[in-house]
């Protein structure tokens, strides 16, 4: 049994890339993007990096990267982008990042989203672009120690609303929220 929680991950960094050469450019910098659209992968940490990096492919030529606090990959990539590589366009991503986890997580999701997350295999590493209570979100089902949890990203201007609304549902379902107001 684990407590149902929604948590705002305030210390993660994000980067977006667009353009026909984005995947190749990323590879030249040691970051391998998944090949299948709407999927994510965890890249190998670079020297001195201990935190995981998530690389999500949102379309044929659009990528989204998140790195937890302490990582340096995104900083390195951002520096490299200042050289304006051909066919690679940086996309400002200041997303609000939430993590929904614990017992009853699917009960919460069923109240806010028209996607059957319970039927998805986290091993498939899909990234779902959908609407959650009226907000466009990216959702990555993940698993750790046999427990499902969900990373959710949205435009930061919707962050307070989405966080508070999810928090209210979580609290109703017996959970707690951290970093968001229910």
Q: Which is nearer to other proteins, 119 or 145 (CB)?
A: 119
CB 97 within 8 A of CB 154: no
In the bound complex, what is the minimum distance in angstroms from residue 103's beta carbon to other proteins?
Answer: 17
Which residue ranges make up the site for other proteins (CB under 8 A)?
16, 18-19, 61, 84, 89, 91-95, 107, 110-111, 113-116, 118-119, 133-135, 155-161, 165, 168-169, 172
Q: Which is nearer to other proteins, 45 or 133 (CB)?
A: 133
Task: Work out how close the CB of 60 gets to other proteins at its nearest, in angstroms, rounded to a whole number.
Answer: 11
CB of 28 to other proteins, least distance (A): 19
Q: Which is nearer to other proteins, 39 or 111 (CB)?
A: 111
User: Between residues 37 and 45, which has the closer beta carbon with respect to other proteins?
Assistant: 37
Shortest Cβ distance from residue 107 to other proteins (Å)?
8
Report residue 20 as tokens: 């026909």
């Amino acid at each position: 049994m684990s407590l149902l929680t929604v948590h705002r991950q305030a210390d993660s960094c994000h980067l977006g890339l667009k353009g026909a050469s984005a995947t190749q450019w990323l590879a030249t910098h040691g970051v391998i993007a998944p090949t299948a659209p709407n999927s994510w992968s965890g890249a190998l940490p670079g020297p001195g990096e201990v935190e995981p990096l998530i690389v999500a492919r949102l379309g044929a030529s659009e990528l989204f990267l998140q790195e937890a606090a302490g990582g340096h990959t995104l900083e390195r990539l951002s520096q490299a982008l200042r050289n304006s590589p051909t066919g690679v366009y940086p996309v400002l991503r200041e997303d609000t990042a939430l993590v929904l986890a614990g017992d009853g997580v699917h009960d919460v999701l069923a109240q806010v989203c028209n996607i059957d997350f319970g039927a998805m295999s986290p091993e498939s590493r899909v990234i779902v672009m959908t609407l959650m209570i009226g907000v466009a979100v990216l959702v990555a089902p993940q698993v750790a120690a046999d427990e499902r949890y969900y990373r959710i990203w949205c435009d930061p201007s919707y962050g307070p609303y989405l966080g508070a609304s999810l928090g209210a549902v979580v609290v109703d379902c017996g959970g707690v929220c951290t970093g968001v107001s229910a």
